[in-house]
Structure 1
Amino acid sequence: MRHAARSPLLALVMVALVLAEWLWRRRSAGTGYDSRGALASLAVGAGHLVSGVLPALVLGGLFAWAARWAPVHWPAGDWRTWLAAFFAVELAYYAFHRISHEVRWLWTTHAVHHTPEEMTLLSSIRLGWTSLLSFGWVCYLPLVLAGFDPRMVFALLAFNLHYQFFLHTEAVGRLGPLEWVLNTPSHHRVHHGSNAAYLDCNYGGVLIVFDRLFGTLRTERADEPVRYGLAHPLGTQNPLKLVFLPWLRLMSDMRAAGSLGGALRVALGRP
């Protein structure tokens, strides 16, 4: 969400919705509001903004360099290029998101986002600080090598992430036919579930169509209320611990593996 500050109007809308959701949860929904969790999300989100400066600079330069090797360069002024790039970015995001749940090295950064035990709009900004180290950005390099302008890729990815802010809420129910095509709050609530029935599914960004195509779609069930958070909770709202405890656990397990091969199996295996 680090691009939000570039749009004061969007930031104002987000703040207004956070306040409206706070009122709704306290007065209408009767679920209360986890103030400590909200403050932790704000702290982690602020840290993400600061820690994102270096990755933005490094990846901006890397992707610009990679673009020089592309055999073709699709015209950025053509709407068809933007349409094709939108679907390409959605597919790359699906791949990145799925791998982040299936490979522990990437999960260690992404797990931060799954630590909230309450589904609110503020939980959307609880993002890891180590994206450069986890190498998830590799999923987007093929788009640049295929001829899409890196600025276009970054712009569409920013749109993807901003869209997902609105998915982190219990205030919106199912959305009828839109559920077939778009990622919705209902789909994303399931994605954040730590129930065995809901683990590792609904990886889409704006669209849910790739989950339908690849068999990773699951829907909310009336007989299975979503339980949010990690399957193995960290037991803390300390921002530094939320960000770095998963890495400490990973390093400990890699050392305990006893060999380089064993350590690699731990790092590249499932979380």
Structure 2
Amino acid sequence: MEKIDKSILNQVITPRNPESYKGNYGKILIIAGSTQFGGAALLCSSAAIHSGAGLVTVATTPEKFSTINTKIPEAMTIDYHDKKAVLTAILNNSVIAIGPGLGTSTIAKGLVKAVLSNTKTDQTVILDASALTIIAEDKIPIQTTAHVIMTPHQGEWQRLSHLPIPEQTELNNFNSIQDLNPDAVLILKKHHSEIYYQDLAFQMNAGNAGMATGGMGDTLTGIIAGFIGQFGYSLATIQAALLIHSTIGDKLNEKHYVVLPSTIIEKLPKFMSKYSYQK
């Protein structure tokens, strides 16, 4: 399994064109949050914005609007109970991330089905957390012409692939991806996270135990969405998003026993600026 080299950050994160505007950096739809897990939507959308996404819309439960609008005024909000508004947003955004804190309610299941049924070839769908649980429990086919990225931790991957954690070997993971969606990218979150795509496998040598805290995966999903929105869909972009998340975490862990997702988010613009000019 090939190691992800830090040089990928310099390759992907480039200086911005002085004559660009927000429309050049991606339109991101994040379908996330619920009454119990509103923080997931907040972290995911904040990470997308801080990693450079041009426009971010959060589809969530209305009771969380005021918190999102106060904490991250750069984000727009829509009610995910409004089927017409959600469908319009699905069709009009380049990257759709669904699942953080969403839960497994009837509404949540309908949202997952709506995303998989209405996305197309020039879009990217990031399936995370609750979305993966819903797909596993309801046996929903991952059938879309959009680019698909799955971001499970090992427990979620076990539910989706039916592979017990000890059996989540490189070969078994490849075989499971073939069954689910042969064109999908799998990011398997673990001690040293792994990326699988077709016949390629990569592993990170970054990340630390200080990052083992709630909301870390939601933050990663937001960074991936923000990176793809502005740098385009590619394996290199996905690798860079994963690596900067853990690289910042490792730097913070040098002085912090616990690394908070919100602190990683806060540091994103500074680290991206560093790597954009460090050639």
TM-score between the two structures when normalised by the length of structure 1: 0.26
Tell me the TM-score normalised to structure 2 length.
0.25
Q: Comparing both structures, which one devotes a greater share of its residues to helix?
A: 1
Choose between structure 1 and 2: higher strand proportion.
2
Larger Rg: 1
